[in-house]
Structure 1
């Protein structure tokens, strides 16, 4: 499979440098060789810096009368115009679409990835709102407009079939794509230039709203709400059709400044007490810019604001407050709730949240998504690529089914999806027999949604006895991983290992010190002596536990109590996230969820395998990117550290390292330096919330990953880590296209395979197992991941 040689980038129209054009700017940084296409391009030469000086290839609409100022009036002609672009010479077509860009024509051998800002809003669910606000809800003009929009809907629905992969700018738009096109879309939030908005922690006593004054922004409503709160100051920045309405309802406490330049806008954002935002946006860049300044946001809790603003959850993680109705009364209530917050929103928290939308992260996520789509697309073109089976447990129903997978007895486990009930009797499937006696499959679901905080019981599990088979003769080793002994080089440890006193638990026999629950809670919540006394009174009168009484008085949350209990019993997890990607590190962030329970079950099975065959470093291997291999390795490492074992998680993916991103760590060279004979300044990183877990990063991907892994230094390093740590877990690159994972597995001697539920083929897994059996690796089991 070759990389794309020629790339086409399609955008609707190029007339200014707004939100969607900033996406085009970042895509061009990833693919500078791309040719640019649009319906019209009226940018001046001095405005083309963000396009790297490129001029788009346009359509006949560019030459129609008055198009430069009234090109939107030609919208009914744009579907036809977009189809006239000849893209037949391109391998990869990227479209940035909020109207017609996705409608370009592509062939069966061209990959079309669409970054969709929204399906055509005014043609789908927002048609009635747009017609009403433009005065065309009735009459002859209204009838004509409805007919044209009906035509646009038919064309828009048809052209969705020409897109191979949708990327949505928010989960809100992802739901709209699902509703309109019946297609799934991967969410990649658009880039926000957070560096342009510097953090300022000292705030002044005024609120700010800034936007173009068009109806859906609800600017007059915000101004009316503050006019009814004369003790609170509001500054309004912006201009547009509703300026007269804004001035009409503005009270003496409201300053309407009109349009201001960029520097003045940033200055007001930095100084404002809070930013008020009342629109239902697809994403909403302005609230993110305000948070980049350290300014909290009071936002309408619909649409993209639910993803750009943290208005719910733990108080220490919040960056704003939501209101649920677009009325002055709701805005007033939200402002009062903001001023009455028991834990004030910290500017640093707002800034940290905004940095998640930085352009560099967008480029990284976008490129990775396109590369995954490219790999899938060309795998589908491979005539030898077999169709995906419904389940890797079930052989194909054919006269000659594929051979049974030569790994331990597969014992499915039912994992309840959060917010739903477990399926009754969802355990009985036919086991697959093998020659080795260890059971090891967990179907690890990772649909992380709000789940009940109290610990749920372990999922039911049925473990049929394995069917014994004759042990096969030892297979020959793969040529790439020789079993011939090689003398170790003279070895001087190139790093200092963590001190032994870093263990998260006291040594055996040491007396346990049980801190009072109230003392632990006071370290995280500002409870006064009066609060503690009040809790104790309620505790005695109502015969409650201390934590239950504190929750009943709304002084703490149930999550606070569970975290305090975890501290009492030496069970570390992250209460506030602290940079962790909660959707991926579910064991660290949601330790009482069914998904975390599934990983604990997998941990138990691996420990049972240790008892039978001895403890070895564990390699986590999967055939393809996107199978959830890194997700499984990281969560498994967290579970062992929570057990009290000193655990080191090694990022062995020297081609595309990702462990540091999961844990929110600054990238540093470690493993690559060690394998090159250099001494890293800091070989291990640690999480403040997980004291027993140590992380060894890769650093910059080296040009010769396989050669480094095949050198004796890698095996020596693993042995040193095994001496100093209770548990060594190594993440690997995808095993289908490189030998790296097989080399790591052979060196570790113990492997867990990861497959994607509903995606990984039995034939693919059989091939991988066969390759691993030619090395010295023992397969401890298989994880079916639904993350």
Structure 2
């Protein structure tokens, strides 16, 4: 029996719950969530708050169940201030009738309370960045007796870390989206994780059909979520100062700030629709991805579209960018190293042989491989649990 047939045979009658943190935009985590939901037509989707009906592109109809936080007016604008309440909200879901629970988590979704006989598989996009390794990037002020609110903030983060560790014992199987994330799961939770890379819709970008627009000045693309830890705005400042032609695309407050600052010097695409993205890639010669990322779907999309990728030689891009084959890597803490790698990419033609190498590389991250590995892992979990009962 083929893996798909066996998977369908064993899971069709299971009652399945899929858990996600929140969704206001369709980013990498939401694309993974879509693939997981597509494996289970009968699954119910639980989430803290957001707009799954507008954000997700699904093959089947699912029941959506949100937490009590979703009733708060203007939740999309204030939710970051409600972080201390997230564990309470995620634990409030009643999952007693489910056989299989899959959490898709970059915050608290992995902390659900499963019933004793259910299997809980957690797909970890990242341990909570603001509570662990990037706390000091998000909260730069040091706690002082003269700043009681900052002391309270650090106290709450301390309690959140304790909850994050203790809730990890409720997971039967951890799947990480990269080796980088798997190492952090081991460090913070003391549990090993299997790595299954997020999927890329390779056919959508189709290297063989990609026609990079030829211009006298090769352009650099900055594309993604424009948040402080991704260093997009400060990188744009650097590129403008070095008279490098830039296309800026994505979503986030910092992108709006960038447009207000450089609207006459840079081509901007604010929150582009999926249909527009291949055309955006086609205008650039390379993608610059400045920060260390947990995985990074955008660099692989750029590779699938036939662009050089310039990215750090740490984190997720260390696993997805092959130096001098699919792109150029640099030391994340060195501006000089980044500019050197970027100039190397800008001065290097993209040959048919290069595009062939790019196409071979992204095949390792296809939707088919993702689904195959997920089905095999979930079947192993189901069979192991069955043997124990």
Give the TM-score normalised by the residue count of structure 1.
Answer: 0.44
Residue 17 of structure 2 contacts residue 102 of structure 2 at CA under 8 Å; is this kept in 1? Answer: yes
Determine the structure 2 residue equivalent to 1:626.
none
Give the distance between the partners of 1:238 and 1:306, measured in 2 at CA. Answer: 22
Return the offset for 1:167.
0.3
Give the distance between the partners of 2:219 and 2:57, measured in 1 at CA. Answer: 36
Return the offset for 1:154.
0.7
Determine the structure 1 residue equivalent to 2:356.
348
Structure 1 consecutive aligned stretches of length 4 or more whose deviation exceeds 6 Å: 247-252, 340-345
Residue 131 of structure 2 contacts residue 161 of structure 2 at CA under 8 Å; is this kept in 1? Answer: yes
Determine the structure 1 residue equivalent to 2:6.
none
1:7 aligns with 2:7: no
Q: What CA deviation, in whole Å up to 9, does each residue of 1:108-132 have, x standing for no partner? A: 3221111111111111111111112
Determine the structure 1 residue equivalent to 2:300.
288
Determine the structure 2 residue equivalent to 1:754.
none
Determine the structure 1 residue equivalent to 2:327.
320
Residue 275 of structure 1 contacts residue 297 of structure 1 at CA under 8 Å; is this kept in 2? Answer: yes
Q: 1:366 to 1:332 in 2, by over 3 A?
A: same
Q: What CA deviation, in whole Å up to 9, does each residue of 1:440-498 have, x standing for no partner? A: xxxxxxxxxxxxxxxxxxxxxxxxxxxxxxxxxxxxxxxxxxxxxxxxxxxxxxxxxxx
Return the offset for 1:264.
4.0
Write out aligned runs for 1:321-720 (5 A): 321-338=328-345, 346-381=354-389
1:272 aligns with 2:284: yes
Give the distance between the partners of 2:166 and 2:358, measured in 1 at CA. Answer: 42
Give the distance between the partners of 2:263 and 2:79, measured in 1 at CA. Answer: 39
SS in 2 for 1:76: helix
Give the distance between the partners of 1:42 and 1:236, measured in 2 at CA. Answer: 26
Give the distance between the partners of 1:80 and 1:295, measured in 2 at CA. Answer: 44
Return the offset for 1:303.
1.0
Determine the structure 2 residue equivalent to 1:255.
266
Determine the structure 1 residue equivalent to 2:69.
61
Q: 1:71 to 1:55 in 2, by over 3 A?
A: farther
Question: Relative CO higher for 1 or 2, CA cutoff 8 Å, sep ≥ 6?
Answer: 2
Return the offset for 1:136.
7.6
Return the offset for 1:46.
5.2
Give the distance between the partners of 2:106 and 2:260, measured in 1 at CA. Answer: 34
Determine the structure 2 residue equivalent to 1:431.
none
Q: What CA deviation, in whole Å up to 9, does each residue of 1:667-723 have, x standing for no partner? A: xxxxxxxxxxxxxxxxxxxxxxxxxxxxxxxxxxxxxxxxxxxxxxxxxxxxxxxxx
Give the distance between the partners of 1:272 and 1:61, measured in 2 at CA. Answer: 41
> How many correspondences in the alignment?
371
Unaligned regions of 5+ residues in structure 1, if any?
Answer: 382-787
Give the distance between the partners of 1:247 and 1:29, measured in 2 at CA. Answer: 37
- Choose between structure 1 and 2: higher helix proportion: 2
SS in 2 for 1:346: helix
Q: 1:81 to 1:325 in 2, by over 3 A?
A: closer
Of 95, 100, 108, the match for 1:92: 100
Give the distance between the partners of 1:268 and 1:39, measured in 2 at CA. Answer: 33
1:147 aligns with 2:164: no
Of 198, 206, 209, the match for 1:198: 206
Q: What CA deviation, in whole Å up to 9, does each residue of 1:136-163 have, x standing for no partner? A: 8662332121111111111110011110
Of 298, 309, 312, the match for 1:300: 312
Residue 180 of structure 2 contacts residue 294 of structure 2 at CA under 8 Å; is this kept in 1? Answer: yes
Residue 225 of structure 1 contacts residue 331 of structure 1 at CA under 8 Å; is this kept in 2? Answer: no
Return the offset for 1:322.
0.4
Q: What CA deviation, in whole Å up to 9, does each residue of 1:339-361 have, x standing for no partner? A: 56699671222233223222222
Determine the structure 1 residue equivalent to 2:3.
none
Of 118, 121, 124, the match for 1:113: 121
Q: 1:276 to 1:78 in 2, by over 3 A?
A: same
Of 123, 135, 146, the match for 1:127: 135
Determine the structure 2 residue equivalent to 1:76.
84
Q: 1:117 to 1:248 in 2, by over 3 A?
A: same
Unaligned regions of 5+ residues in structure 2, if any?
Answer: 1-8
Q: 1:106 to 1:195 in 2, by over 3 A?
A: same
SS in 1 for 2:206: coil
Return the offset for 1:71.
3.2
Return the offset for 1:175.
0.5
Return the offset for 1:69.
4.0
Residue 270 of structure 1 contacts residue 290 of structure 1 at CA under 8 Å; is this kept in 2? Answer: no
Return the offset for 1:328.
3.3
Determine the structure 2 residue equivalent to 1:435.
none
Return the offset for 1:212.
3.1
| 81-90 vs 121-130, greater mean Cα deviation | 81-90
Rg bigger for which structure? 1
Return the offset for 1:202.
4.5
Determine the structure 1 residue equivalent to 2:44.
35
Give the distance between the partners of 2:126 and 2:380, measured in 1 at CA. Answer: 22
Determine the structure 2 residue equivalent to 1:25.
34
Give the distance between the partners of 2:54 and 2:159, measured in 1 at CA. Answer: 38
Q: What CA deviation, in whole Å up to 9, does each residue of 1:513-569 have, x standing for no partner? A: xxxxxxxxxxxxxxxxxxxxxxxxxxxxxxxxxxxxxxxxxxxxxxxxxxxxxxxxx
Write out aligned runs for 1:732-751 (5 A): none
Give the TM-score normalised by the residue count of structure 2.
Answer: 0.85
Q: What CA deviation, in whole Å up to 9, does each residue of 1:310-361 have, x standing for no partner? A: 12xxx5xx10000103443222211233356699671222233223222222
Residue 299 of structure 1 contacts residue 305 of structure 1 at CA under 8 Å; is this kept in 2? Answer: yes
Of 152, 159, 165, the match for 2:173: 165
Give the distance between the partners of 2:326 and 2:93, measured in 1 at CA. Answer: 44
Residue 62 of structure 1 contacts residue 68 of structure 1 at CA under 8 Å; is this kept in 2? Answer: no
SS in 2 for 1:378: helix
